[in-house]
Structures are given as C-alpha cells and as structure tokens.
Amino acid sequence: MDDLYILILAGGSGTRLWPWSREELPKQFLPLAGEESLFQQTVRRMAKIAQPSHLYIVASDQCSALLRHQMKTVLKFDHDPIIAEPMAKNTCPAIALGLAYLLKSGAGPEDLIFVSPSDHIVKDDEAFKEAINIGRQAASEGHIVVFGVKPTRPDTGFGYIEIDEERSKGLPYKIVSRFVEKPDEEKAKTYLERGNYLWNGGFFLFQSKKMLEALRNDIPQIGIPAAEGYDSLISSFEDLPSISVDYAVMEKEKNVAVVPLECGWSDIGSWDALYETMEKDEGGNVKKGDVHTIGGKNNLIYANGRLVVGLDVNDLVIADTPDALLVAKRGSSQAVRDVVNYLKDQGRREATEAPINARPWGTYQILHQGDRFKIKHIVINPGAKLSLQYHHHRTEHWIVVRGTALAVVGGKEIYVHEGESTFIPKSTPHRLVNPGKIPLEIIEVQNGEYVGEDDIIRIEDDYKRAE
C-alpha cells in the first residue's frame, strides 16, 4: 500500500483510568490489556497495514522520549516518525499538523491517510485490516471515511453515527446521515433499538486533498495555515482553536462514509469499559498483577507492585498503585474524572504525577519523602546517561544496587559497582551513565532545604533539555 500513510495520535491523558493513568503517564503507554502498552500494540497493528516508512506519530514534546523508548521494542524506523505538537490542541489541529507534515515530506494530494488513536483495543487485526480495505474504496471515490462500531449497549459515553440506509443501498460501505453527540440514556436506548446507529470509533481515512479542502472550508482558522504548509501551521499553532475533528469537520461535511468495524474494539475510556472487554475468570473477575480473590464475583482488580486480595466483594473496581488506591462500584467509573479534578483543585500531586516517572534515559520512583529529604529508585537503560547537571539546594548520595555506574562528579569519572556508593555535594556538576548491558539501578538519597524536581540546572543533555 504505497499510497497509504498512517498517522497515530498519541495525545490524551485518560483521566477516567486514574490512578493507573496520569497526565505524566497516559493510558496509551500502559500495559492495560496485555504485556505491551496500548501504544505498542497500535504500532504493531499499523505496521501490518502500511509500510514502516509511511508510519508517523503525532505527539507532544513532553512524551516524545517515552514514545521513542517504547517504539524501539516494536519496530525499527529508518526515519524519525514523531511529529511534535508544540502543545495539546485536540484532534483537529493534531490531524492538520500531521497532514501538513506528510505533504511537506513527500505525500501526494491523492495519497490516502489513515488516522488512528493510540489507546484503543483491537482484538481482530485481520478484520480491522479488511475494514480499512473497504474504507480505501470509499476514500478513493472522494469520501472522508469514519469507522463505526456496532453498539452492544446503550452507552452514553460515545458519540453516535446515523447511517443513511437509502443512500447506502448497494454500496460496500455506508453513507453517513448525521453525527450525534453523546446522548442521554433514553436516546442511547432508542439508537440501539433502531439498529442504524454506530459508535464513533475515532478512526478516519481520507485523501489528503479532501481533508485539506474540508479544513479550509469548515474551520479556516486551522485550514488556511494548513494549506499554506507545515511551517505556517507551526508558527500559528498557539493561536489555533482546541477542537475535535468531529466538531470541526465531520459534523459539517456532507460527503462522509462510514465503514462498520467488527474487530473486538474498545476505547477503554473507563474502568467499566476495560472490564467489558477483558477475559474473566470463573467468577466473572478481571485480574491483573498480584491479585487473589476469595468468594468475590464480577470485580475488576488491577494491582501494581503489591498483593491485593478481594474477600467476598462483588461488582467493584479496585485499582492499586504505589501512591493511590481507587475503590469504586462498577458502573460508576465515569465519575473518576471528577475525582481527578477534585484532587487537582486540592493541589495533590497524585492527580497528575505518575508513581513511576518515565524519562528518556529510564525511570525513577519516589520511595519516601520528608521535609528535607527524598529517596528515589532510579533505573537507567543500558547505554543511556542522565544530563550533566547540578543543584543549588541539595546533596545527593548514590548507592548502586544493580549493575555498574559511571559517575561523573566535579569533572572526575568514577566507576561505582554494585554495593558501592558515591557522594555529590551541592552545586557540583555531575552525571550518571550506564556503560553496561543491563539496566543500572540506583538508590538516590537527596538531602537539603529544598528537594523539588525543579532544582535542576542542566549543562549538557543528550535529549535537548539543557537550558
């Protein structure tokens, strides 16, 4: 499929899956439905549909390092696939940015572009591929194509697509009559009964020229700079409206086709949605991690790092992390977003910060923190290095618990082996390097009048974070 390009949208925070998903570690980067993250599963799926040289990812600079790390385990790219958004602006600006970048990079006006979220489950890759093949015909005939999922319940969390059954007669795809915003429960029941409504799956397929024309006509604030080219769009990105492509374009266009999608799809937009799509034990329980249930039924229990036991409890969502525990009745998980907003208003770091923080070089986890100290567990990937940096307000003590560290302290290089340690005074330039073939694990003890993460002055950095 030389004429097919892929744009994977890797934004979004997935707050309804808190506390597993946080702003700093969105759901697409979590192994919620298997050993690999949803993003990694998406990349593998897309690599079966288009050649790797035509695969691109639209994401913020904030998560680009995490993206690159996860991509390495999935696919080898001969090009830089990341199209960086200057800031999050919802799906319409993201798609416009990806489109402008592809046209700048060699895509033609009649080439097809398939847009995919990075945080959905697709269980049947072959059925998914076949749906795209049907969509290719519709897109080649000038339609902008959306992919819809047959409803299985009167869900109020999805937008709906109404099929024009008269205009769809004899076609391998369907013609869209209208898009419907998320309905109340009564309307959702009506849509389910009528049978000509589909959930909006968030996948799109179009000729590049057709989407460019639609953007220019439907939302010129985005479409005009997009038509002028990638550089023009980037320079005006801050002033673009934050709007979804559904509101900005799809609901206004008159020539939209829909392909029914039957591939075991779920957007897992909530813990309840995740429960519905996952395999269950004999008691109807969905379990991940070190979980044991006794006498309980129909629970979703996700553990992260410690044993969780459910004893004679039914119909619960239990999601555990090192720093937060959610216990909720199944059916109420749509309200988790309200919990996150409340925590933000209270200034709680648990609302946004991940318990294990991803960095370009590896991860760190805060084990304990007091007024004048902080203890971290740091994991550095083989061959990776931290920035050359110093701190105004704290000293650091590094203890190697696995591997061998090359510590650069005050211009001197010191090899620190397992069980050994080294000390870094205040205001002393320092850097950690993993020269080995296995992950390097460090216990870092910080001490001082201020131990915040913003007391970092970078001198050199491999990841372009030096000031």
- The three-class DSSP label of residue 235 is helix
210: left (phi over 0), alpha (psi -120 to 50) or beta: alpha
Determine the pLDDT at residue 466: 60
Determine the pLDDT at residue 6: 97
Which CA distances in Å does 401 have to 173, 377, 409, 420? 59, 10, 19, 8
> Are 387 and 459 within 8 A, CB to CB?
yes
- The three-class DSSP label of residue 43 is helix
> Are 121 and 38 within 8 A, CB to CB?
yes
- The three-class DSSP label of residue 411 is coil
* Residues facing residue 267 across a β-bridge: none
Determine the pLDDT at residue 63: 76
Determine the pLDDT at residue 71: 83
Phi, psi of 79, deg, nearest 5: -135, 165
* Residues facing residue 84 across a β-bridge: 59
And the tokens for 295?
């006498």
Determine the pLDDT at residue 1: 57
Q: Which residues lie closer than 8 Å to 222 by C-beta, 6 or more apart?
A: 92, 93, 96, 215, 233, 240, 241, 248
Neighbouring CB atoms inside 10 A of 283's CB total 15
Phi, psi of 210, deg, nearest 5: -70, -45
And the tokens for 361?
């070089």
Set out the domains of the chain in order of their start, with CATH numbers.
4-266 (3.90.550.10), 271-335 (no CATH), 360-460 (2.60.120.10)
pTM of the model: 0.85
Q: Does residue 183 have a cis peptide bond before it, meaning omega lies within 30 degrees of 0?
A: no
Determine the pLDDT at residue 239: 94
For the chain, 467 residues long, the average pLDDT of each consecutive 10-residue run is: 88 83 87 91 93 92 77 83 91 96 94 96 94 96 95 88 94 95 91 93 96 96 95 95 94 94 90 93 96 96 94 97 94 90 92 83 89 95 94 97 97 96 97 96 97 91 71
